[in-house]
Amino acid sequence: DVQLVESGGGLVQPGGSLRLSCAASGFTFSSYSMNWVRQAPGKGLEWVSYISSNSRTIYYAGSVKGRFTISRDNTRNSLYLQMNRLRAEDTAVYYCAREGGQYVDILTGYEDLGYWGQGTLVTVSS
Amino acid sequence: QSVLTQPPSVSGAPGQRVTISCTGSSSNIGAGYDVHWYQQFPGTAPKLLIYGNSNRPSGVPDRFSGSKSGTSASLAITGLQAEDEADYYCQSYDSSLTGPYVFGAGTKVTVL
């Protein structure tokens, strides 16, 4: 079974840094693109960042570009999100999500987000 | 403010049919990009409910169905059950944005 387990969340002061990890198992990690999606308390889902299977293609949401860095280690089956210069508005549960693997939009080449981790809470507060 | 507009809430009695709309524009749904739907219960991770506009993953009851027309998509729940009370999100691609995914703001379904 596909498993995604996030870790690394916690309380951090504004301006601080945090590194999130997502440990993947149950599938060939190096074959799939991965994403980070966040959800602020009581709010909806916000896509944060995308990384292709070979790390050659990376995208960020405008709200985090220049502050967050996504990366992956296919030898360790792990996805990361380095978050710098954190702001109060970055407070959220952060989910790692894998593309579904069975359907591709023929216009974009992207898939649905078929698998999600349980999330890790990041709180930015003084 | 998302480029995909969903009603904040919908409600229905058990057994009724409810629909959730996801309204976009010519840079997303109207351009022909696929729509996916996710279900989320409080305190849990989202779960894929409908992919590719109208396809159900294995294990999703057939009372959930999706459709797309023009610049909008819809999720229908027929025979509404108490356990369907959750938040529902549509998701697509938008050519005016930098990334591959954009979500609607979500719709809370309440079973009366």
- pLDDT tens for residues B43-67? 999 999 999 999 999 999 999 999 9
* Residue carrying the six token digits 């989910």: A95
Q: Virtual CA dihedral for B32, B48, A116, A14, nearest 10 degrees?
A: 70
More confidently predicted of B12 and A106: B12
According to the model, what pLDDT value does residue A110 have?
Answer: 87
Residue B34 has pLDDT above 90, yes or no: yes
Query: Using the beta-carbon criterion (under 8 Å), do A103 and B106 form an inter-chain contact?
Result: no
A59 in contact with chain B, both atoms CB, cutoff 8 A = yes
- Three-state DSSP at B91 gives strand
Query: Using the beta-carbon criterion (under 8 Å), do B101 and A110 form an inter-chain contact?
Result: yes
> Which among A111, A101, A9 has a CA at the least distance from the CA of B34?
A111
Say if residues B4 and B104 touch (Cβ distance below 8 Å).
yes
> Which among B1, B28, B4 has a CA at the least distance from the CA of B96?
B28
- Tens place of pLDDT for every residue, chain A, 126 residues? 999 999 999 999 999 999 999 999 999 999 999 999 999 999 999 999 999 999 999 999 999 999 999 999 999 999 999 999 999 999 999 999 999 888 989 888 889 999 999 999 999 999
According to the model, what pLDDT value does residue B99 have?
Answer: 87
B60 in contact with chain A, both atoms CB, cutoff 8 A = no
Query: Using the beta-carbon criterion (under 8 Å), do B51 and A114 form an inter-chain contact?
Result: yes
Q: Virtual CA dihedral for B5, B9, B14, B15, nearest 10 degrees?
A: -20
According to the model, what pLDDT value does residue B1 have?
Answer: 80
How far apart (Å, rounded) are the C-alpha atoms in residues A29 and A23? 10
Q: How many CB atoms lie within 10 A of CB A80?
A: 19
Interface test with A, best of B1, B101, B107 (most A CBs within 10 A): B101
Mean pLDDT of all residues belonging to chain B: 96
CA atoms within 13 A on the CB side of B105: 12
Pairing state between β A120-124 and A10-12? parallel
Say if residues A98 and A2 touch (Cβ distance below 8 Å).
yes
pLDDT average, residue stretch B95-99:
88
Nearest CB to A114: which of B48, B89, B100? B48
pLDDT average, residue stretch B93-103:
91
DSSP structure string for A56-71: --EEE-TTTTTTEEEE
CA-based nearest residue in chain A for residue B50: A112
> Which among B12, B62, B11, B3 has a CA at the least distance from the CA of B33?
B3
Report residue A14 as tokens: 């504004």
Distances (CA, A) of A15 to A29, A124, B29: 32, 9, 37
pLDDT average, residue stretch B15-26:
97
- Rounded to a whole number of angstroms, the distance between the first and last alpha carbons of chain A is 40
- Looking at the DSSP bridge assignments, the partners of residue A122 are A10, A92
